[in-house]
Structure 1
């Protein structure tokens, strides 16, 4: 990964509070998660699924996914998203949030 590509993100985050940094990282992570959900889990409503993945990811996973948003999804992105989707709390979220979206 090129340091030149990461520099703008690092500069933006350096001037932000911890809460703002978390918000920026979560939004960036969404950009990496979305194509994985669309490709690996067809038929699942994308927005609720992405929300469930982001809400159930730990900070390390969010950081890795945010970086993947800069370079584009990789096999590592797929593995991280799959790990998060496999968590019981994510599956519960998908049932509670994704299933109703399918039925609308």
Structure 2
């Protein structure tokens, strides 16, 4: 039995159940799109806070394209509760990969490097 305390915990649980039900009813392509969209919601505030003034959309695209499926799911989960220290660490790790750095440079985003 899951014990939920407080309204925010109940809200998080409700969102998690809703997301799981929504994903189960979707095609694999829809599931991937929803996961990526949710991951974007977790990545965006991290970039805005850590790199103010940088065009966020192209940077988020580079991070999404270079994240593993497991990382995308973790980031998508973080979008429900809001970014955490784990979110920041995960985004930082993805940004530091050679393919991500190449993507950032190709999109004119050296400020993240």
TM-score w.r.t. length of structure 2: 0.82
Distance in 2 (alpha carbons) for counterparts of 1:98 and 1:37: 15
Cα drift, residue 19 of structure 1? 1.3
- Aligned counterpart, 1:72: 82
Q: Which has the larger displacement, 57-66 or 4-13? A: 4-13
In our comparison, the structure showing a higher alpha carbon Rg is: 2
- Aligned counterpart, 1:91: 101
- Aligned counterpart, 2:73: 63
Kept in 2: contact 1:26–1:54 (CA 8 A):
yes
Report runs of 4+ in structure 1 exceeding 6 Å deviation: none
CA deviations over 1:1-31 (Å, ceiling 9, x no partner)? 6432201101100101111101100000000
Q: Where do 5+ consecutive residues of structure 2 fail to align?
A: 1-8
List aligned pairs for 1:1-104, cutoff 5 A: 2-99=12-109
TM-score w.r.t. length of structure 1: 0.89
Distance in 1 (alpha carbons) for counterparts of 2:70 and 2:49: 23
Structure richer in helix, relative to its length: 1
Q: Where do 5+ consecutive residues of structure 1 fail to align?
A: none
TM-align CA RMSD: 1.5
- The count of corresponding residues between Structure 1 and Structure 2 is 100
